[in-house]
Structure 1
Amino acid sequence: MTPEIRYTITPHHPEAHLFRVSCTVERPDPSGQIFRLPAWIPGSYMIREFSRNIVTLSAEAAGRRHSITKIDKNTWRAAPLAAGRSLTVNYDVYAWDLSVRAAHLDQTHGFFNGTSVFLSVDGQTDRPCLVDIRAPAGADDWQVATAMTPATSLKGGARIGGFGLYRADSYDELVDHPVEMGRFTQAVFKAGGVEHEIVLTGRHDCDLDRLTADLTRICDWHIRLFGKPAPVERYVFLATIVGDGYGGLEHRASTALLASRKDLPYRGMRGMNKDYRNFLGLCSHEYFHTWNVKRIKPAAFTPYDYACENYTRLLWAFEGFTAYYDDLALVRSGVISAADYLELLGQTMSRVLRGSGRLKQSVAESSFDAWTKFYRQDENAPNAIVSYYAKGALVALALDLQLRTQTGGKRSLDDVMRALWKRHGKTGIGVAEDGIFAIVEEIASDPSAEEGRRLAEWLRRAVSGTADLPLARLLRPFGVNCRSDTSAKAPVLGVRMASGPEAKIASVFDGAAAQAAGLSAGDVLVAFDGLRVAAGDVEDMLTRRKAGETVRVHAFRRDELMEFDVTLAAPRADTMKLTLQEKPEPSVRTLRKGWLGL
């Protein structure tokens, strides 16, 4: 059966960063077909107005121009058309966003997410789609990388890695398969019986053997956690490698990644450095999303409404729980050591403690306000919001530790995730706003119904309140010491500096010395006690001072030179250090092994 919706996408003018796209509807609405371009992309919770990148748009029917009118910011309506006639919309998309969210095109490569380039057809989004992915003129050595299914049975059908026709069962599926094209490095490996592919675009010196070996162990662990078979027949990591970058976005059978060259392993590298560890954590995070958020979804996301915000208070579970499991998978799979994992966990705890926003906003509120606050952070963000990623990960940790402790290791957050997978991921039924609490109560009721109710109620308070979590106490039964690191002696201003050539303040923390003196975000520091200060000098100058000293600071605010007397403060006890107890008792070793797999 011929699909009703057919797309063609061509790198039309790579030097001008223009994709030419067409959308053909075999049976358009005779009263006037409506087309829409999404305003956001799932996984990145901000209205991005992708339609602003459409440069030209026109329609044709039977080879003749057909009237089409824009009726709002991302919607067009074609004029009525006689029954039995097909309709084609042609348009150019400007693609110069080098991120994981949109589209990018130049003479070296092309990348796009479907939400940036493919119009949806009102009333027909459930129909199957064909997309003809074409090469730019003269690019005979370009390849294609995508998890989309090649339409091999059709004339012009693509084969994996080639240009031609690809198919999707619906518009949702079509836009959930990002595409990379160009000259790239790739490697294939198997995990859990499933073929995986890693694609690296950009200059690099990566040791692909090391990378694929580590990814194999990580992906294997994820699949074992939820149980075979994996929900994909093939999975693709699409990584754009740049001088300085970091980011990822999940899709149903792939992920788009942005990474720095230094994040990749190189031949002869010994051990595990922090940059590579962070890259593996990013890969693990996006891979876990294959289950959690791509298939286990909030009810608010079933189905997605691409035109507007889709509100949920559950991102603390869908992003926060994923942020907990991303690094946990590294240690459980044996890719990093327990000491490495505890260092990462301490960094997450410290990151949450440093922002007073955690005392003002709950992770449930942060989830709901992702569209207006978390994804639109300004200079006051540390003082006003909490990350549903970071604190959500700590909620997951606290929940996991309590489940393991009260059941003697018989139950854990793993059981909660498997229950969510069985009831929601496999069935496609969205998770209600109170659905996770009910599953936690059920899983925690193994020793007693009262314990189940208690833990579910604790979780409700943890995600709707702003109290700090009792992590030091919860970690103790696992033989983990948790304390604040008091080794830092230098006084502090209480600011976060911006990157760049100037000593510019990015944020001023509530109650800090800088705030008390009147310094503000955007101020450019130029002198301490009459001595010039440049970017990178601030910490060195502070090491020569003591808490309680007053420093005369000169700074430019806009174009005005201002003076401030800053009384330096002692460093806050917000850097957490976690260590393993030596020679723990057998019961402690058992709990620790169940948790860390060591």
Structure 2
Amino acid sequence: MPDIRYRIAPANPNAHLFHVELEIEQPDASGQSLSLPNWIPGSYLIRDFSKHLIDLQAETASGEPLPITPVEKSHWQVAPHNGPIKVQYDVYAWDLSVRGAHFDQTHAFFNGTSVFLAVDGQRDQACSVEIVPSPYSEAENWRVATTLPPENVNEHGFGLYHADDYLTLIDYPVEMGCFHLLEFEACGIPHQIAFTGKIEFHCIDKKQLLDDLTRICETELELFGQPYPIERYLFLVTVTEKDYGGLEHRDSTALICARSDLPYLNDEKRSDGYIQFLELCSHEYFHTWNVKRIQPEIYQTASLNEPVYTNQLWWFEGITSFYDAQILHRAGILERDNYLNQLAKEMTRVYRMPGRFKQSVAESSFLTWTKFYQQDENAPNAIVSYYTKGSLIALGLDLTIRAETQNAKSLDDVLLTLWREYGATGKGLQEGEIESICERASGLDLKDFFQRYLFGTEDLAFESLFAKFGIDFTLRPATNAKDTGGKTEQKSFPPQLGANLVNTEHQTVKLTHVWNEQSAGQAGLAAGDEIIALSGFKMASVQALESYLARQDIGDDIPCHYFRRDELHETVIHLYEPPCDRVLLEPALKKPDEALEWMSK
């Protein structure tokens, strides 16, 4: 048996408490140090998981209490003892997300970063984990879903597992409950999907789902090639009313999605929500290579106590964001025109944000701990996303490499070079290496490209880049505040306030984000303000407000009454020309004779 042994049980569903025991056979005789991560790999925010630990105690093998003293918020010191010790504690689990732990009467889910104390000085040692059923879980006939390597488990998955070391241990999320389980094979590798949450599972189009996921996984496996880095894979999917997100792990992923994003038997075609869900699956599966194995060296040795700073997230998240939808196209799920429209919508998310001229993508990556992961209402005006703008850099790189090499090379060549030399070998990347590898793999001088678009704040020259491939890139105004870009049948473009709008329960229109240089911002309106009337007419909903604006002309001055907190204010909104910030991609009407094929490789 390993010298480090964990036991975890879903102890109390009403109080949302896991009970955890840790046995250390050979602790530091001068006093064992214990710690819990402050952040989880893949999500770059200090989350202070230790705030959920309750009633931390230590004792000797004979049951004599040992003092345990906090050193700082997530670090404890056990009193000196020459011999085995046992530590036990409870973990409050009420974070329904992919990053933490959640436990109630319906299921139990945890990431190791939330529940397993690290034995400092012995993090590289193998350990065992016993997942213990409770009377409640047994009465409810719960099962376990995880890719933790099993040693001795029962038919429900409860029992003994092992991990090679602490960092490996915390990379296996665990789900317990009466989940729905689907199975399929991709390139001969067994895959499972466990659905947790209240869903009418008999209405789900399981054949469509399994067919699409098989095509996605096989496309990615064939892109990177053999030998494959996984022997099995697990999608853990929590289904709720409207949530969305994912977190990658070494051979699994934790996802959360809206009920409406799943495919249903009566759907005539793949819905936009379902395409979004497939993109999420594609994105997190791609991380099996790009993040979990191709990764910065500083992440390979991270203690998870303090932030780790890198400029490289543009590659790890941006390139993955570029490929997630393109994989759907390569897999035959999105036809070319649909893919172009989907791409236009994703590009629009960047072009709508004036903050892209204030912050470079490299800086966005470096400051992810604060500016990206702690966005406020001014974020659109102040920052850029290394996910979305990073995906545009990837797109620009692919188009540039293809155009300059007459399609002899593409971004795939860069990706596969990184996989062969880094991901497959376990070698970590230094700052600046990715840029040099892009040059080496493509044979091009890309220094100016990176200086302008990665470390600078310029928009990429997509009009000329796409033209070489017979695709028209244009920017148009919005049809309404929720217009996501892409194709539209609407021919007129009414005035816009330049703000994100939501309805309130007391029949006003609330501004959640305000763009600085557009009509609402120029009139002095701010995030949180609630418009109650325009030109003396009550604005009881976003629909009413946009219907009113559609009847106005550019250049009009509109009297506006609004609440800021509980104070009534008035201003005049001047209706400026709406900006062209929605992207449209279409096959060129006059395709040049020398136009290259895009995505032909």
Q: State if a TM-score over 0.5 links the two structures.
A: yes
Shift of residue 364, structure 1, vs aligned partner: 0.1
TM-fit CA distance, 1:159 = 5.4
Q: Could you tell me the TM-score, scaled by structure 2's length?
A: 0.94
Are residues 1:172 and 2:170 paired?
Answer: no
Output one character per residue of 1:185-219: Cα deviation in whole Å (capped at 9) or x when no partner: 11111112211111111122322221111000000
1:193 equivalent to 2:191? Answer no
CA contact (8 A) 1:507 1:521 kept: yes
Quote how far apart the aligned CAs of 1:499 are: 6.1
- Give the secondary structure class of the aligned counterpart of 1:464: coil
Distance 2:296 2:594 in 1: 37
Task: Tell me the residue number matched to 1:28.
Answer: 27
1:30-74 C-alpha deviation (Å, 9 max, x unpaired): 000011010001111100101111122111112222111111000
What is the CA distance between 1:268 and its match in structure 2?
A: 3.3
Q: CA deviation at 1:456?
A: 4.0
Asked if 1:516 corresponds to 2:516, the answer is no
2:579 maps to: 572
Deviations 1:279-305 (A, max 9, x none): 000000001001011110012212122
> 1:553, 1:337 → 2: CA distance?
46
Distance verdict in 2 for CA 1:500–1:228, change over 3 Å:
farther
Q: Is the 8 A contact 2:413 2:442 kept in 1?
A: no
Secondary structure of the 2:253 match is: strand
Match of 2:354 in 1: 356
CA contact (8 A) 1:529 1:551 kept: yes
Give the 4+ runs in structure 1 shifted more than 4 A.
Answer: 582-587
Partner of residue 540 from structure 2, selected from 529, 534, 539 = 534
Any gaps of 5 or more consecutive residues in structure 1?
Answer: 152-156, 446-451
Q: Match of 2:60?
A: 61
Amino acid in the other structure paired with 1:147:
T
Query: In 2, Cα distance between the equivalents of 1:593 and 1:19?
Result: 49
How do 1:8-407 and structure 2 match up within 5 A?
Answer: 8-62=7-61, 63-82=63-82, 85-140=83-138, 141-151=141-151, 157-158=152-153, 162-204=157-199, 205-407=203-405
The residue matched to 1:8 in structure 2 has which SS?
A: strand
- Partners in 2 of 1:295 and 1:159 — Cα distance? 31
**8 Å contact kept, 2:475–2:582:** yes
Residue identity in the other structure for 1:73: K
One of 460, 463, 466 as aligned partner of 1:472: 463
Q: What's 1:448 paired with?
A: none
Q: After alignment, is 232-241 or 128-137 more displaced?
A: 128-137
Do the aligned partners of residues 202 and 586 (structure 1) sit closer, same or farther apart at CA in structure 2, a change above 3 Å counting? farther
- 1: CA distance, partners of 2:451 / 2:158: 50
What letter matches 2:93 in structure 1? A
Q: How does 1:532-571 map to 2 (within 5 A)?
A: 532-536=538-542, 537-571=544-578
2:497 to 493, 503, 506: 493
Paired amino acid for 1:15: N
Which position in structure 1 is the counterpart of 2:475?
484
| Alignment correspondent of 1:458 | 449
Which residue type is aligned with residue 289 of structure 1? H
Do the aligned partners of residues 161 and 287 (structure 1) sit closer, same or farther apart at CA in structure 2, a change above 3 Å counting?
Answer: farther
Which deviations, in whole Å up to 9, do the C-alpha atoms of 1:1-44 show, x marking residues without a partner? x2121111111111111111111111100000011010001111
- Per-residue CA deviation, residues 452-479 of structure 1 (Å, 9 max, x unaligned), is 22x2441243200000001121111222
Contact 2:142 2:156 in 1 (8 A): no
Maintained 8 Å contact 1:399/1:459: no
Normalising by structure 1, report the TM-score.
0.94
Q: Which range moves more in the overlay, 458-467 or 482-491?
A: 482-491
Aligned mate of 1:504, from 505, 510, 534: 510
Per the TM alignment, residue 407 of structure 1 is displaced from its structure 2 partner at its CA by: 1.2
Q: Closer, same or farther in 2 for the Cα pair 1:107/1:23, shift >3 Å?
A: same
Question: 1:528 & 1:188 partners in 2: Cα distance?
Answer: 56
Q: Structure 1: how far apart are the matches of 2:243 and 2:313?
A: 24
Output the amino acid matched with 1:253: D
Give me the whole-angstrom Cα distance separating, in 1, the residues matched to 2:49 and 2:288.
Answer: 25
Change (3 A) 1:235 1:518: same
Aligned residue type for 1:168: A
Equivalent residue letter for 2:522 = A
Maintained 8 Å contact 1:405/1:591: no
Gap regions ≥5 residues in structure 2: 478-490
Alpha-carbon spacing, 1:498–1:50, altered in 2? closer, same or farther (3 Å): farther
- Counterparts of 1:99 and 1:138, CA distance in 2: 23
| Residue 587 of structure 1: how far off its partner (Å) | 5.4
8 Å Cα contact 2:10-2:137 kept in structure 1: no
Identity %: 47
* Change beyond 3 A, Cα 1:413–1:499: farther
Q: Which moved more, 1:157-166 or 1:106-115?
A: 157-166
Shift of 1:583: 8.6
Deviations 1:432-459 (A, max 9, x none): 11111111111122xxxxxx22x24412
Residues paired across the two proteins, number = 579
Look up the equivalent residue of 1:38 and give its one-letter code: P
Structure 2 counterpart of 1:427, from 425, 428, 431: 425
